[in-house]
C-alpha cells in the first residue's frame, strides 16, 4: 500500500497523504462514525458516499479538525496529528467548501476569495491598517494569486459583484475559489454539486478535474450524484450508518453487494 | 520607408515600430489589470511566432486558421502568418464542429492557431476528415497537459523555438517578397444561403480601404478601440488590424466575453462599432432600469431626454440652436447624459458606427440625442467592408450614406445595387463560378441588395435583399425586410419573419424579446415557467397584435409597399437560433431554412385554423438534439385601408 500507482488516465498517484485509523465519533450516546479506517493518497480524487445520515459530513469535519473523535488517530503527511483547532488544520494545508454555502454575502467575490489567503498573510492588523511597506506588498502578492484563481474558475465578470446577488451555482464556484486561494494540499468538498442543473454540474466537474490536474491538489469529496462520483473519483469509500461498508475503485464499489443493498439501490418490495 | 513601400501588413508594422515603437499597440485585461504591449514588443512577439511557424515547416501561401476570441496573441498570429508569406484565415470560434470542418477542409489549412482546450477538442473531433491539417498551436494550455503533443504545441513553445532558431533575416526576406496584389487574408462569409464562401482579399484591398476610411473620419494614432466582435468577421479585421496598422492606434481586448461591458467602460473607446442589436440591448436595459428608478430620477430622466430628443441631434450636426435650449441641454448633460454615457462606456466616442441591419429610428436618435456621434455604414465582406457611409453632419436613420471614398455605385434595372472600389475582393477561394456570377469583367460587384439613390442628397437607401424582394399573387411588390424592420423596432419583438411571395396576403412569425417581455411579466406579476409559456400568454399576444396593427397602418401609407400588410401572424415558441441553422452566426434570418422547417406553421397561417399543434427539433449548445412541442395561437391583425393612388 505504500507504493504509488498509476490511474487509467495516466496520472501518477503518490503515497499516503492522510491516514484515518480506527476513527470513532460519538455525540452523547449516538455513534456517528464507528471505527472507520481509510487513507487518502497524494494527487488522488477520493470520494466518500453513503445515504443520508451515514456520517459523511461528520467524517469531513473530523478531517478538517472541527470534530475531535473519541477514538482513533488522524495521520497527516506521515505524522500523527494532535488535537487541533480548525484554523491550525487550515494552516497545515487543508481547505474546504461547505454543503450549505458559507460565504460573506455582503462582500464582493474578490473580497471573499481574498479571505482564503488569510493563512498566507503575515503582517498584523496594525500595519495593514496604515497600509504601508510590507503590508502593501503582501496585499499585492496575494491579490495576484487570487486573480489567477479568478481567471482559472472563469469568474472575472463577477469579480466586484456582492456574493448575495449571485445565483446558487456561481456561489458554489466562489466558495471553491476561496478554498483554492489557500493553496491547499488537501481540498475537502462537501457536496460540491448539490442542487445544480446538468450544465452547472458539468462545469463544476471540469473545474474539479482541472484543479487536480493543474495544481496537483489532492481532493476528498462527498457527493450524491453517482454518475459524477463514478466519473471523477479514483477511489471511493462507502459509509452506511457510521460504518464503512466498501472501499475501492468505482468499479469495485459498484460490484460490492453490501453497497448495492445499502445505497446504489435495489427495488423496494 | 515611403508610402508606396507600405504594401503589406508586416511593412506597416515595421513602419509603426519605427514611428511609434514605445506607444501601446495592444492591451488586454488579464488577472484584473490591463496589460499592454508597445508596437516594438508586439513586433517582437510576432517575429518569434513567425519564426516558430517556419521551424514547424510552414511555407509561403499556406493557409493558417485562427480560432478564438479577440486576444492580442491571436491578432499577432494573423500578422505572423503574413510575415512568412502565409494567409491567415480567421474562423468563428462558436461554430459547430462540422461548420469548422468545412472551412478547414475547404481552405486546406496545414496549421491552426487556437485559443484553448475547447477549440482543440473541437478540431480533434473532426481531425480524421482533415488529412492536410498538420499542427495545432494553442494559446491557453489549461486541461491539455495529458493530451498527445505529437501534432500540437503551445504558443509559447513555438515562440521559444522561433527565438532559438534566429531567422530574422529569413523573415524579412519572406515579408519583402509579398506584393500589393498578393493575398492579405481570407474570410469566410456567414452565408445566408448555402455553404460559406472564402473571400480572398489582397493587400491592396485591405490597405487602400484602411487608408481611405481612416481619412474619411480623421482617425489618428490616439484612437482607442475595443476589439470584441468576432475575429472572423471582415469588420474586425479592418478595424483591429487594417486601420490600427495604418494609423497606429491601440487595440484593446476584453478580459472575457462576459466582461465586455465593464471593459468598455474602463477603456472608453473613441472609435466604436456595434451592430444594431448591441445598441438595442443597451437601450432596453437603460429603459428597464429607469422604470425601477425613484420618482425624482425618473422625472429628471424623462424631462431632459425630451430636451435631448428635440435639440441633441441638431447640436451634434452643428445646426443653429437657441441659447435657452443650449443651456437646458448643458444642464441635462450634467445631470443625465454625461453619467449615462459614462455608464454605457460611450463618453469618449468620437466616431461610432452601426451596420449589418437596419437600426430603429428611435434607437438611433436616442444615442445621437445624447451627443454620441453614431453613424451608419453599409458594406460587405466582398467590398472589404465599406460601400457607403455617412459623413459627419449628414446622419439620418433611414439612409446608409454616400459612397465611401473611391467607391462607385450603380443601380441595376431590377433595383439591385452594384459597386466597384479599391476594396473589391479578388475572388472566392476555389469557386470561380460564384466569383464570375458576383463580379463582372469590369469589376462591378452585385451586392444582392435592392435599393435606390435618393434624389438631392445622393444618399443610398436599402429596401431589402434583392432575392427576397418578390411579388404577391396580384403582382404587387413584396419586401419582407422592410416590414420586419418596422416590427423589430418594438422593444418586445426580437425577430420577425414575413412571408407572402406569390400569396394573396402576408403573414408573419414573431419572436418575443425575453428580456423586455420577461421584465414586463415580472412587473405585472405574471408567472411563467418557460419561454414557450410566456410567448403564448394572451396578454403578450394582445400586445404583439397591437404592434402588428400599428405597423400595418404605417405600411399602408407607402403606396409602393401597401401590399405587405400582415393579415395573420403567430408568436414562435422558440427563439430562432444559429445552432438550429435558422440564423447565420451574424444573426441574419435564413428564410429558406425557416420556411422549410416550419412549413406546417406557414400552411396554418394560410388556412382558417385558430391554433396549431407543432413539434420542433432543437439543438443544444453541446450539439445534442431534443424536441419541443407546442400549441400556437394564430391571430388576425387589423389591416389598414390602403391609400389608393389616384
By residue range, what is the domain housing residue A165? 103-183
pLDDT at A8 over 80: no
pLDDT of residue B643: 60
- Three-state secondary structure call for residue B396: coil
If asked whether residues A212 and A129 sit together in one domain, one would say: no
* Beta-sheet strand order (sheet of A235-240): A94-97, A186-190, A218-222, A45-49, A235-240, A243-248
Model confidence, pTM: 0.84
- Using CB atoms, pick whichever of A11, A154, A206 lies closest to residue B256: A154
Interface membership of B256 toward A (CB under 8 Å): yes
Q: Would A269 be classed as within a structural domain? A: yes
Q: Would A98 be classed as within a structural domain? A: no
Average pLDDT over residues A198-227: 90
pLDDT per position as a tens digit, B53-104? 999 999 999 999 999 999 999 999 999 999 999 999 999 998 888 889 999 9
pLDDT of residue B291: 83
pLDDT per position as a tens digit, B329-346? 999 999 999 999 999 999
pLDDT at B644 over 70: no
**Which residues of B, range 2-31, sit inside 8 Å of A by Cβ?**
30-31
Of B237, B244, B245, the closest CA to residue B271 belongs to B244
According to DSSP, the β-strands at A79-80 and A71-76 are: antiparallel
Cα–Cα distance between A62 and A20 in angstroms, integer?
9
Residues of chain B with CATH 3.30.300.30: 470-636
- Using CB atoms, pick whichever of A10, A148, A157 lies closest to residue B31: A148
Residues of chain B with CATH 3.40.50.12780: 3-201
Cβ-defined contact of A157 to B262 (cutoff 8 Å):
yes
Cβ-defined contact of A156 to B146 (cutoff 8 Å):
no
pLDDT of residue B332: 94
| Secondary structure (DSSP) of B593-613 | HHHHHTHHHHHHHTSS-SEEE
Interface membership of A210 toward B (CB under 8 Å): yes
- Three-state secondary structure call for residue B200: strand
pLDDT at B375 over 70: yes
Interface membership of A77 toward B (CB under 8 Å): no
pLDDT per position as a tens digit, A230-246? 889 999 999 988 999 99
Interface membership of A147 toward B (CB under 8 Å): yes
Cβ-defined contact of B259 to A157 (cutoff 8 Å):
yes
If asked whether residues A74 and A44 sit together in one domain, one would say: yes
If asked whether residues A179 and A192 sit together in one domain, one would say: no
Q: What is the ipTM of this complex?
A: 0.81
Interface membership of A203 toward B (CB under 8 Å): no
Of A209, A175, A177, the closest CA to residue A43 belongs to A209
CATH code of the domain in which A225 resides? 3.40.50.300
**Segments in B3-70 forming alpha helices (H):** 9-20, 39-56
If asked whether residues A1 and A87 sit together in one domain, one would say: yes
If asked whether residues A143 and A176 sit together in one domain, one would say: yes
- Using CB atoms, pick whichever of A9, A11, A159 lies closest to residue B32: A159
Distance (Å) from the alpha carbon of B184 to chain A's nearest alpha carbon: 34
Distance (Å) from the alpha carbon of A150 to chain B's nearest alpha carbon: 8
Average pLDDT over residues B11-15: 96
pLDDT per position as a tens digit, B574-618? 999 888 888 887 778 888 899 999 999 999 999 988 889 998 888
Of A138, A162, A183, the one marking the end of a domain is A183
Cβ-defined contact of B143 to A213 (cutoff 8 Å):
yes
Domain B3-201 belongs to what topology?
Rossmann fold (3.40.50)
Provide the domain count of chain A.
2
According to DSSP, the β-strands at A235-240 and B198-202 are: unpaired
Query: What are the φ and ψ backbone dihedral angles of B5, each rounded to 5 degrees?
Result: -95, -10
If asked whether residues A199 and A175 sit together in one domain, one would say: no
If asked whether residues A190 and A89 sit together in one domain, one would say: yes
Helix axes B117-126, B97-107, angle to 10 degrees: 70
Per CATH, the homologous superfamily of domain B470-636 is ANL, C-terminal domain (3.30.300.30)
DSSP A141: H
Of A14, A17, A4, the closest CA to residue A76 belongs to A17
Distance (Å) from the alpha carbon of B283 to chain A's nearest alpha carbon: 21
Cβ-defined contact of A147 to B31 (cutoff 8 Å):
yes
Residues of chain B with Cβ-Cβ distance to A8 below 8 Å are: none
Q: Would A174 be classed as within a structural domain? A: yes
If asked whether residues A5 and A17 sit together in one domain, one would say: yes
If asked whether residues A151 and A51 sit together in one domain, one would say: no
pLDDT at B620 over 70: yes
**Which residues of A, range 3-22, sit inside 8 Å of B by Cβ?**
9-11
Of A132, A150, A183, the one marking the end of a domain is A183
- Using CB atoms, pick whichever of B31, B33, B142 lies closest to residue A210: B142
Of A156, A183, A210, the one marking the end of a domain is A183
CB pairs below 8 Å between A and B: how many? Answer: 36
Residues of chain B with Cβ-Cβ distance to A148 below 8 Å are: 31
Amino acid at each position: 500500500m505504500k507504493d504509488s500507482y498509476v490511474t487509467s488516465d495516466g496520472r501518477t498517484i503518490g503515497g499516503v497523504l492522510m491516514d484515518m485509523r480506527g476513527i470513532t465519533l460519538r455525540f452523547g450516546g449516538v455513534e456517528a462514525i464507528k471505527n472507520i479506517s481509510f487513507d487518502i493518497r497524494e494527487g488522488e480524487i477520493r470520494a466518500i458516499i453513503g445515504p443520508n445520515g451515514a456520517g459523511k459530513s461528520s467524517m469531513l469535519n473530523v478531517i478538517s479538525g472541527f470534530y475531535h473523535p473519541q477514538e482513533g488517530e488522524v495521520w497527516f503527511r506521515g505524522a500523527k496529528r494532535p488535537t487541533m483547532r480548525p484554523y491550525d488544520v487550515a494552516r497545515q494545508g487543508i481547505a474546504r467548501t461547505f454543503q450549505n454555502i458559507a460565504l460573506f454575502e455582503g462582500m464582493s467575490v474578490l473580497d471573499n476569495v481574498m479571505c482564503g489567503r488569510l493563512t498566507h498573510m503575515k503582517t498584523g492588523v496594525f500595519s495593514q491598517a496604515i497600509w504601508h511597506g510590507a503590508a502593501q506588498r503582501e496585499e499585492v502578492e496575494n491579490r495576484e494569486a487570487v486573480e489567477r484563481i479568478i481567471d482559472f474558475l472563469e469568474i472575472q465578470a463577477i469579480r466586484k459583484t456582492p456574493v448575495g446577488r449571485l445565483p446558487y451555482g456561481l456561489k458554489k464556484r466562489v466558495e471553491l475559489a476561496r478554498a483554492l486561494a489557500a493553496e491547499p494540499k488537501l481540498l475537502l468538498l462537501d457536496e460540491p454539486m448539490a442542487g445544480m442543473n446538468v450544465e452547472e454540474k458539468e462545469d463544476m466537474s471540469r473545474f474539479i478535474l482541472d484543479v487536480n490536474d493543474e495544481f496537483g491538489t489532492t481532493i476528498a469529496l462527498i457527493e450524491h450524484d453517482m454518475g459524477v462520483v463514478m466519473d471523477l473519483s479514483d477511489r471511493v469509500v462507502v459509509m452506511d450508518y457510521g460504518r464503512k461498508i466498501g472501499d475501492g475503485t468505482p468499479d469495485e464499489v459498484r460490484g460490492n453487494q453490501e453497497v448495492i443493498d445499502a445505497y446504489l439501490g435495489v427495488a423496494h418490495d | 520607408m515611403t508610402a508606396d513601400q507600405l504594401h503589406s501588413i508586416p511593412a506597416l508594422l515595421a513602419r509603426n515600430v519605427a514611428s511609434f515603437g514605445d506607444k501601446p499597440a495592444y492591451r488586454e485585461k488579464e488577472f484584473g489589470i490591463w496589460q499592454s504591449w508597445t508596437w516594438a514588443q508586439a513586433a517582437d512577439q510576432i517575429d518569434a511566432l513567425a519564426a516558430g511557424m517556419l521551424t514547424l515547416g510552414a511555407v509561403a501561401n499556406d493557409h493558417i486558421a485562427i480560432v478564438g476570441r479577440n486576444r492580442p496573441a491571436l491578432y499577432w498570429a494573423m500578422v505572423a502568418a503574413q510575415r512568412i508569406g502565409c494567409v491567415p484565415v480567421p474562423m468563428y470560434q462558436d461554430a459547430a464542429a462540422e461548420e469548422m470542418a468545412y472551412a478547414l477542409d475547404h481552405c486546406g489549412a496545414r496549421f491552426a492557431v487556437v485559443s484553448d482546450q475547447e477549440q482543440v477538442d473541437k478540431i480533434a473531433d473532426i481531425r480524421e476528415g482533415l488529412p492536410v491539417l498538420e499542427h495545432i498551436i494553442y494559446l491557453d494550455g489549461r486541461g491539455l497537459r495529458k493530451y498527445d503533443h505529437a501534432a500540437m504545441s503551445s504558443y509559447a513553445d513555438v515562440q521559444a523555438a522561433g527565438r532559438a532558431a534566429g531567422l530574422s533575416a529569413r523573415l524579412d526576406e519572406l515579408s519583402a517578397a509579398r506584393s500589393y496584389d498578393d493575398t492579405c487574408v481570407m474570410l469566410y462569409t456567414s452565408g445566408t444561403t448555402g455553404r460559406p464562401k472564402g473571400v480572398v482579399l489582397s493587400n491592396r484591398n485591405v490597405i487602400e480601404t484602411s487608408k481611405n476610411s481612416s481619412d474619411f473620419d480623421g482617425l489618428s494614432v490616439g484612437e482607442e478601440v475595443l476589439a470584441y466582435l468576432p475575429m472572423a468577421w471582415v469588420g474586425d479585421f479592418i478595424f483591429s488590424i487594417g486601420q490600427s496598422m495604418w494609423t497606429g492606434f491601440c487595440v484593446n481586448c476584453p478580459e472575457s466575453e462576459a466582461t465586455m461591458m465593464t471593459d468598455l467602460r474602463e477603456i472608453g473607446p473613441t472609435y466604436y462599432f456595434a451592430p444594431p442589436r448591441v445598441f438595442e440591448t443597451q437601450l432596453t436595459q437603460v429603459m428597464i432600469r429607469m422604470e425601477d428608478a425613484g420618482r425624482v430620477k425618473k422625472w429628471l430622466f424623462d424631462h431632459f431626454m425630451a430636451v435631448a430628443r428635440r435639440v441633441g441631434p441638431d447640436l451634434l450636426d452643428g445646426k443653429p440652436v437657441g441659447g435657452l435650449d443650449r443651456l437646458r441641454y448643458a444642464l441635462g448633460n450634467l445631470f443625465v447624459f454625461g453619467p449615462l454615457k459614462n455608464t454605457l462606456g460611450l463618453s469618449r466616442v468620437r466616431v461610432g458606427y452601426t451596420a449589418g441591419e437596419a437600426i430603429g429610428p428611435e434607437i438611433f436618435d436616442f444615442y445621437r440625442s445624447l451627443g454620441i456621434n453614431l453613424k451608419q455604414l453599409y458594406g460587405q465582406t466582398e467590398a472589404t467592408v465599406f460601400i457607403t457611409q455617412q459623413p459627419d453632419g449628414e446622419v439620418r436613420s433611414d439612409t446608409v450614406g454616400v459612397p465611401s471614398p473611391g467607391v462607385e455605385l450603380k443601380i441595376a434595372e431590377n433595383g439591385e445595387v452594384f459597386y466597384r472600389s479599391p476594396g473589391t475582393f479578388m475572388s472566392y477561394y476555389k469557386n470561380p463560378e460564384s466569383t464570375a456570377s458576383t463580379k463582372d469583367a469590369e469589376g462591378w460587384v452585385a451586392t444582392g441588395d435592392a435599393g435606390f439613390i435618393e434624389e438631392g442628397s445622393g444618399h443610398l437607401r436599402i429596401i431589402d435583399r434583392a432575392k427576397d424582394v418578390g411579388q404577391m399573387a396580384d403582382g404587387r411588390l413584396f419586401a419582407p425586410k422592410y416590414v420586419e424592420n418596422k416590427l423589430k423596432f418594438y422593444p418586445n419583438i426580437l425577430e420577425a419573419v414575413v412571408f407572402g411571395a406569390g400569396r394573396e396576403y402576408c403573414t408573419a412569425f414573431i419572436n418575443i424579446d425575453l428580456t423586455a417581455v420577461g421584465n414586463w411579466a415580472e412587473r405585472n406579476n405574471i408567472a411563467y415557467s418557460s419561454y414557450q409559456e410566456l410567448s403564448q400568454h394572451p396578454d403578450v399576444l394582445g400586445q404583439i397584435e397591437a404592434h402588428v396593427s400599428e405597423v400595418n397602418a404605417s405600411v399602408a401609407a407607402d403606396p409602393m409597399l401597401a401590399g405587405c400588410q400582415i393579415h395573420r401572424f403567430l408568436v414562435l415558441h422558440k427563439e430562432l437560433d444559429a445552432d438550429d441553422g435558422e440564423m447565420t452566426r451574424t444573426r441574419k434570418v435564413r428564410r429558406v431554412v425557416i420556411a422549410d422547417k416550419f412549413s406546417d406553421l406557414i400552411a396554418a397561417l394560410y388556412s382558417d385554423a385558430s391554433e396549431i399543434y407543432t413539434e420542433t427539433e432543437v439543438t443544444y449548445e453541446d450539439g445534442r438534439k431534443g424536441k419541443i412541442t407546442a400549441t400556437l395561437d394564430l391571430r388576425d391583425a387589423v389591416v389598414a385601408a390602403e391609400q389608393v393612388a389616384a
